[in-house]
Amino acid sequence: MMNFAIAGCGHIAYKHVGAIEKTEGARLVAICDPNPDRLKELRAVTSSTAYPDLGTMLARQPEIDAVCICTPSGLHAPLALEALREGKHLVLEKPVTLSLTEAEQLREAVRVSGVKATVVHPNRYRPAMQALRAALAEHRFGKLSHVNMTLRWNRSQAYYDQAAWRGTKAMDGGVLLNQAISQRRTCRRCDAKAVRL
């Protein structure tokens, strides 16, 4: 049995709860969030133990094997590094980090600790994206010189008003890191700059 914990009890955390529940051999044992209302709401739909912060959670429940990082994006790197120091596997929400330096630091820490780490990019598994990927692999379009992408996702003011971190450079990173990151694929030319965990 693999014991999961979730750091950050906001919108996306509920998807992680659902995925853990559906996965044989996985169970959710702990959650943490500094916001007591968020913590209480998620606690109400799980049988996990609630904590105000990651450090306390990891100290009190050493049986945790993996941590899902579901916090504002600017906190992914520091919290992931904290979990890695305790030898925990990671499921990181996208974007992996907000800077290349942090991503490289994290990749190195994952390599050294020998744990497994993955970043959640669900849009890459949509049928249209999978069909496009297959077509590219079959060289159906010949040699591509340019790719032009349009992301038609509306984000109204109400979206940005949901939480103080949204739309900020320090915690959200902006549309290229928040929304468009879901669509971005690495190409051969970009490989030197792209970091994959």
Interacting residues toward ligand NAD by CB under 6 A = 7-13, 32-35, 38, 53-54, 70-73, 75, 93-94, 120, 122, 163, 178
Tell me the C-alpha distance between 32 and 147, whole Å. 41
Q: How far is the CB of 4 from ligand NAD (least distance, A)?
A: 15
Of 96, 103, 97, whose CA–CA distance to 120 is shortest?
96
CB of 41 to ligand NAD, least distance (A): 9
Q: Which is nearer to ligand NAD, 35 or 135 (CB)?
A: 35
Strand partners, 68: 6, 91
d(CA 24, CA 184): 31
By three-state DSSP, how is residue 164 classified? Answer: coil
Asked if 72 and 38 count as a contact pair (C-beta separation under 8 A), the reply is: no
Q: How many CB atoms lie within 10 A of CB 170?
A: 11
State in angstroms the smallest separation of the CB of 129 from ligand NAD: 13
Q: Which is nearer to ligand NAD, 38 or 43 (CB)?
A: 38
The smaller minimum CB distance to ligand NAD, of residues 38 and 184, is found at 38
Q: State which residue, 50 or 110, has the beta carbon closest to ligand NAD.
A: 50
